[in-house]
A and B are shown apart, each in its own frame.
Chain A
Amino acid sequence: MSALPLDAAANTDLDAGRPGRPGRPGRRLPYFLRRPGGVFGATWLAFVVLASLTAPWWVPYGVAEQDLSNRLALPSADHWLGTDPLGRDLLSRIFSAGAEPLLAAGITVLVAFGIGLTMALIAAERGPRVERVSSRLAEVLLALPSTILLLAVIGAIGVRIFIVMAVLGVMISAGVYRVMLGVAKSVRQRLYVDAARVNGLSSLRVNLVHVLPSMGTVVAVQAAQLYGIGLLIVAGLAFLGFGPAEPQPSWGFMIQDASSYVFSNPWLLVPTGVVLALTVVAANELADAIASRGSVARTTVRRRRSPARVGATGSADPRPADPGAVLDVRDLHISVDDGPALVTGVSFALQPGRVLGLVGESGCGKTMTARSLMGLLPDGVSVSGGSIRWQGRELVGVSEKDLSAVRGRDIAMISQEPMVALDPMFSVAYQLTQPIRRFRGVGRGEARQIAAQLLRQVGIVDGERVLKSYPHQLSGGMAQRVCIALALTGEPRLLIADEPTTALDVTVQAEILSLLRALVRDTGLSVVIVSHDLGVVADICDDVAVMYAGTVVEDGTAAAVLDEPAHPYTQALLAANPHVADGEPVPTRLASIDGTVPPPGEWPTGCRFASRCLFAQEQCTQRFPSVPAHGSGSVLCTRVEELSRADVTWMSAPTTGPAGHETAPATAQPAPTVGVSR
C-alpha cells in the first residue's frame, strides 16, 4: 500500500494532454500499444480480467474442494500452480478470487474521477474563488492517512468491500482533482476553447466537447495508476482479514495464509503474489506507455560529452586567413547527428573591439552558429565540419574540459530570455560571486565588492538591494543587466548575445543596446549579436553577416551592407523593415517576402532563396561560388553583377515595392510571413 496517489510519473506529463500528432497512416495500433510495456500491460490486464470474470465456467476445481492427501503440493499436472494447506487448487482459487478486487478497484477509480474530475472542471470554469475553496478541501483530504480512515469505515459498517472502496475513491478524488485542475486550467487557456466560449457554446458543451477530450491522455494515465493502487489496497485489506470470509478466496488472505508457511513451504507465496504483482505492474506499465506520448524526445537527455564529431578540416574558403581577427570561423558545418545539416559553409572573422551582427529570419541557423562558438549546441546536434579559431586556437573537436576553460573566461554569452537565464533558487549575490571567485581567485568579501561594482557598470544604481534579490523579484530589463554583469565576471574578450533585447519592452531594449555599446567602447570587448531586427543591427553593429537557410548570403561592414544591399534577400529584408529613417514618408504597407524559409533537409541545390526570389532564373539552381563585395565581404548570388548593372533592386522590382502586396496576386503559397519586423 505504499504506492499512494500522486506518483511523480503522473505529474511529469501535463503536456501529454495536447492533441497528439496525427498518426502516420498505415499504422492502426494506438501509440501506447507500440511500446513493449504497453503491450504487456494491456495484454495481461485483459487476460486477468477475462479469466477472473469467467472463472466459474473454466476453473478445474471448486474453491473449497479439498484434496487432503495432496496438501501444500508443488505444481503438478493435476494442480498447475500447486495446492494450499488444505489441499485446495491454487489456480482455481486465484482466478476465482480475481473478480472482486478487479471490480472493487474499478469502483475506486470511477468514484475518484467522478468527483475529482468534475470538481476540477468546475473549479477551472468558475475561477479563483471557487478554486480556492475546493483546493483547500482537497488539501485537507490529501493530508489524511487514508488507509487508517478505511479501517474506521470497516469498523463502522463492516466489510462491505465495494462501499469501502467507494469511500477510498472519495478520499483519492482529492489527488485526482489536484492533477486534473492543473491540466484543465492549461487546456482552458488555449485559444480554441476561448473561441468556443465566445461563440456562445454552453459551459457544459465547452467542457464536454473541447476541454475533456484534450485531457484524455492524462485521465487515462491517472486512471491506470489509480487502478493499480486500488488493487493493492483491496488486497491489503484482505491481507488484514477484511475480505471475503473463508472458504471464499481472496488474493490478500491467500498471501497472509502463505506467510504462515514461509518457513516450510515458500512456494505457496509465489503464485498468488506473482499474479497480484503482475496485475499491478501491468496497470502501471500501461499508464507509463500512455504517458509516453509527447515525451519521446525526452528519453535521451544524456549530455554528449564526447568532442564534436569531426575535427577541424581544411578550409574551403577562398579568402586568406585574417591575422588580426580574434575569432575566425571557416566553412562551419553544423548538423543533426545522423540527420540533415542545419548550417553549411559559414565563414566570418571578427576583429577585436568590433560588433558583428548575424541577421536573418527564424530558422536560418543564426542561433546554432552562435551557440557552436562556445560548444554549447543542443544534444544531438554537433559541428560536422570546418573550424572555429579563437585567438588562433582551434575550438572544434577539443575536449569539453578545454571548452570549459574558454567559457566564461574568454567567451561569455547572454541569452534571449533573461527571466529564465538566472537560477531561481539562488540569490543574485551568490550567482555573481561564485564565478567571480572562480575566475579571479578572490575571497568572499572581495567577490561581493566586485559584484557590486559590476552591477554599477551595467547601470544598476541600487546594487546592494539587487544583490540580495532572487531572480523572480527582478524585472526583465533588470534581469538582463544582471545577466550581462554575470557575463562580465570572467572579463571575457568576446560576448555572444543571442537576441538580447527580443523579450524586453521597447524602451528597455534601447537601454540595453546602449549599455552594450558603452561596454564595447570602454572595455574593447568584441560582440557577436544575433538578431532578426535590422534596427538593432544598424544601431550597434560594425559588421554584419546575413544568414539564409543555414548559410551566409551576404556579409561586409554594416554600413555597406545596409546602404547598398547586393543580395536580393538582404534587399527584401530591408524592404520589409518597419524602421523608417527621419524625413522619409512612412510607407502605407510594408513589403513582405512570400513563402517561408525551407527547413533543413529540404534545401535546393544552388541558391536556397531561389524559390522566393523575384529575380530567380534557371542559372540560380546550379551551384555557384560567392563573390567578393563590400571590400572585405562577400555575396552569394550568381546574378549579382547582372542585377547591379541593370540597377534593379527588390524595392524597384515590378511585383513588389513599398506597396507591393496590394497588387500581389493570391497564390497557393503559405501565408506570406513578414520576414523582418517586430
Chain B
Amino acid sequence: MSSAAFASPSHRPPAGPVLEMRAIVKTFPGVRALSEVTLSVKRGEVHALCGENGAGKSTLMKVLSGVHPHGTYEGEVLFEGEPCRFKDIRASERQGIVIIHQELALVPYLSIAENIFLGNEPSRRGVIDWREALRRAAELLRRVGLDEHPETRVADIGVGKQQLVEIAKALAKDVRLLILDEPTAALNDEDSAKLLRLMRELKDQGITSIIISHKLNEIAQIADSVTILRDGRSIETLDVRDPATTEDRIIRGMVGRSLDSRFPDRTPYKGPADVDPVLEIRDWTVRHPLDHSRKVVDRVSLQVRRGEIVGVAGLMGAGRTELAMSVFGRSYGRYEQGSVLRDGRAVGTRTVPEAVANGIAYVTEDRKRYGLNLEDSVSRNISLASLRTLARRGVVDEHEERRVAERYRRTMGIKAPNVLEAVGRLSGGNQQKVVLSKWILAGPDVLILDEPTRGVDVGAKFEIYTVIDRLAAEGKAILLISSELPELLGMCDRFYTMAAGRLTGEVTREEATQEVLMRHMTQDVPAPSAVGAGTPTPNEGHQE
C-alpha cells in the first residue's frame, strides 16, 4: 500500500493526495472541453480515469503534463503539495510526471537503449557514455520484464514490447506519477495481461499511476479508485475495492445523461424481416495493416434493410471504423475473410470504385484527412465522387456541376457564401454537410455514416439528423457509427455493439438504453475458441 522507501527523499508530506487538480477549465475555440474538473490521486495508488469518447480524459491529462501549458487553462494543479505551472512537457517530466500516449512516441530506427535515453542521454562533457547507457538500459528492461537486448532496433519488436520500452523510458526519468492513455488499446490479450501485471509491480515499487481505460474489467483488476468524467465534468470518484462499485455503477456514471429532444421525430422502421437485407456483411475479418498478429475486425456479421437505420456502438478501438473502411474498397488493413452481399447477392468491394458501383458509400469520421480537399471549392468537393456522371466524353459540364452543387447548398443548408468558396473556410458542420452531399450525389443504396456529427455544433447536428432521416425514408439503408449513445438511441432502429474487433451484441430499439449498450460495449469478449460454432450469433441472451 503506502510507499516506504520511495518518492521524495527529504520532505515527504504525510498521507494525502499526491496530485490534486482543482476546478480545471479548458476551452478550445467554440468548445468547452473541461469545466470545473476536479481530480485527486492518492500516493501509491492506481487511479483509473473513465468516460465516453470525448468526455475530456485526454485533455485533462494534457493539462497535467504540460501539453496544454499553464495559462491556457483555468484552475489549479498541485503535485506533492506544490503548485505546478508547467510551460511544456519537459517541465512536467522534471517533476517526475510522465505521460505515455496512445500513439507511441518511439523512434523506430533507433535502438531500445537509444530510445530510452532520448533527450536524456547519460553523457560526459557532451559525449554519450554508451557503456553506462547500455548498462542502465539493461537494468530498466529487467525491471519492466522485457527480455530484449538494449541494442535491438525498436522497429523489430512488437507493439506490446514497444509499450514496455515506453515505460522503461519513463522509469529512466525517475517517474513519480505515470500516466497511461489507453495502454492496452493496441495490444493483444497476452500483451495486455503482461502490461497490467507490470503496472501492479510498479505500484508495489511505490509509483503512482493514472490509467485511462475503456475496459471495465481492466479497471476492476488493477485500479484502486476510479474517477468518472462525462461531458467535460468530473462526475464522481469511486473506490474500486468497495463492493458497491460494480461495472453497472460505473456505466451509470459514464452515461447518466438525460435524453432530450434533440432528434427529429422518426417513425421507426417496420419493414418485413424476411426480405433480403440491402446490405449483409458475413464473417468479416481484417488484420492490422502493420501488425498482422492482431485481428482488428474479427468475424463480424451484420445486416441492414431498406429504409432502416442501424447503429454501430463501440468505444475507441472497438473496430467500427476499421470495419467500415475495410468493407469500402478494402481501404483499411489486411483483408482475411468475409463477404459482402447486396440484396442477397455476393458483390465485390475490392476497390473503392467497385464498392461505389455496387451502391455503397462511406462517409468518413475524419473529414479533413479522408473526406475533403480543403483547398478546393464546395462544388468541386461535392462532385468529386460523381464526375463520371456529370461528364460527357471526359469533360465535366461545369454548368451542371454548379447547378447540382447549388441545389445541395440549398437543400442541405450548407452555410457558404456560394459554391465556389473553399471548403477549408467553412465551419465543421458545414464541411460535414459537404461530405454528405458528395456521397448522396453519388446515389448509393447503402450509406455508411461514420461519426457524422463529430465536431459539429448543436444546430447543425439537428439538420444532419434530419437529412439522415430523410435518406432512410427514401429507402436507403443506413449504417450509423457513433460514439454518442444518445445520438444512436435517438436515431436508430436497431443496434450492434462492438468491442475489441468483435460483435458483442445486437439490441432492438425497445430494449436499448444507454446502460444496455454500454454494458455490451465494455465487455471484453474472450477470444472465440477455434471450435466456435461458426459465426458468433449476436443475441440478447448473455448478461441479462
A binds B: no
